[in-house]
Amino acid sequence: MLNPFENDERRAFQDSVRKFMETEINPYVDEWDEAGGYPHEVNEKVCALGVFGFDIPEEYGGLGFDDMHMRKAVGLEMGRSSAGGVMASVGARSIMLKPLTELANDEIKARALPDLLSGKKGGALGITEPGGGSDVANIKTVAHKDSDEWVLNGQKMFITGGMQASYFVIAARTGKDGMGGISLFFVDADTPGFTRTPIERKMGWWASDTATLYFDDCRVSADNLMGEENKGFYAIMNNFNYERFLMAAQMTGMSMRLFDECVAYAQDRETFGDKLISHQVIRHKLADMSARIDAMDAYLNQVAEIVNRGENALAEISKLKFYCSTNLEENASAAMQIMGGAGYLRGNAVERIYREVKVQAIGGGSEEIMRDLSVRLMGI
Residues forming contacts to ligand FAD in the complex (CB under 6 A) are 92, 124-128, 132-134, 158-160, 202, 205, 210, 359, 362-364, 366, 368-369
Which residue number, 281 or 380, has a Cβ lying nearer to ligand FAD? 380
Q: How far is the CB of 133 from ligand FAD (least distance, A)?
A: 2
Q: How far is the CB of 330 from ligand FAD (least distance, A)?
A: 18
Phi, psi of 346 (to 5 degrees): -65, 150
Which residue number, 128 or 348, has a Cβ lying nearer to ligand FAD? 128
Phi, psi of 25 (to 5 degrees): -115, -55
Residue 86's identity, in one-letter code, is: V
Task: Kindly list the distances between the CA atom of residue 121 and the CA atoms of 106, 112, 282, 320, in Å, as whole numbers in the listed order.
Answer: 18, 8, 46, 31
Which residue number, 243 or 351, has a Cβ lying nearer to ligand FAD? 243
Which residue number, 125 or 317, has a Cβ lying nearer to ligand FAD? 125
Please give the residue whose beta carbon sits closest to ligand FAD in the complex: 133
Number of residues in the chain: 380
- Write 58-67 long-range contacts (CB < 8 A, 24+): 60/101, 60/109, 60/110, 60/113, 60/114, 60/117, 61/113, 61/114, 61/117, 61/118, 62/101, 62/113, 62/117, 66/308, 67/10, 67/308
Phi, psi of 67 (to 5 degrees): -160, 110
Q: How far is the CB of 25 from ligand FAD (least distance, A)?
A: 19
Per-residue burial over 199-213, b = 16 or more CB atoms within 10 Å of its CB, e = otherwise: beeeebbbbbbbbbb
Which residue number, 91 or 261, has a Cβ lying nearer to ligand FAD? 91
Residue 8 CB: number of other CB atoms within 10 A? 7
Q: Which residues are catalytic?
A: 243
Q: How far is the CB of 359 from ligand FAD (least distance, A)?
A: 5
Q: How far is the CB of 195 from ligand FAD (least distance, A)?
A: 17
